[in-house]
Amino acid sequence: METKLRIKGNWNETKAKLQKKYPKLTDEDLMFTKGNEDDLVSCITERLGKTEEEVMDIIDELQSEKSKPSAQQKGRAQIIDEQSEKSKPSAQQKGRAQIIDKQSEKSKPSAQQKGRAQIIDEQSEKSKPTGQQKGSSPKEFSKKRK
């Protein structure tokens, strides 16, 4: 009987998935050479006690699965995540930054304090003698009139 099995993509990946799903299967059971798909299917059928249709469906399903990241790849992703976490400020550092911000806010004059400073500046400007008043005492002013 001729099977219609088509090996798609990398057989080694599919082989690894088969061995993970069915630990009974050995490397020898899963040896594949192009043109000998029938031998491969019959060997797997015999080993697993499944029909040829079931074996072909299993292989097709595993070949169509998208590759999931390996444990090593997951480990790399976790390390990268941990490194990015280290670069973020901790809660304690955030707290320090917040305290510093609050302290710098305290040292800045409030709108009310700014208003007082402006009023004081205006009052001091009014109390300064103007150009006409400088050097003119009331006596000198009356002498000039005469």
pLDDT, position 106: 65
Average pLDDT over residues 64-74: 65
Q: Is the pLDDT of residue 109 over 90?
A: no
What secondary structure, in 3-state letters, does the chain show? CCCCCCCCCCHHHHHHHHHHHCCCCCCCCCCCCCCCHHHHHHHHHHHHCCCHHHHHHHHHHHHHCCCCCCHHHHHHHHHHHHHHHHHCCCHHHHHHHHHHHHHHHHHCCCHHHHHHHHHHHHHHHHHCCCCCCCCCCHHHHHHHHC
pLDDT, position 122: 72
More confident residue, 54 or 126: 54
Domain range 1-79, its CATH number among 1.10.3470, 1.10.1470, 3.30.450, 1.10.287:
1.10.1470
Q: Is the pLDDT of residue 34 over 90?
A: no
* Residue ranges per structural domain of the chain: 1-79
pLDDT, position 143: 56
pLDDT, position 81: 65
Average pLDDT over residues 21-50: 89
Residue 50: other Cβ atoms inside 10 A: 15
pLDDT, position 72: 63
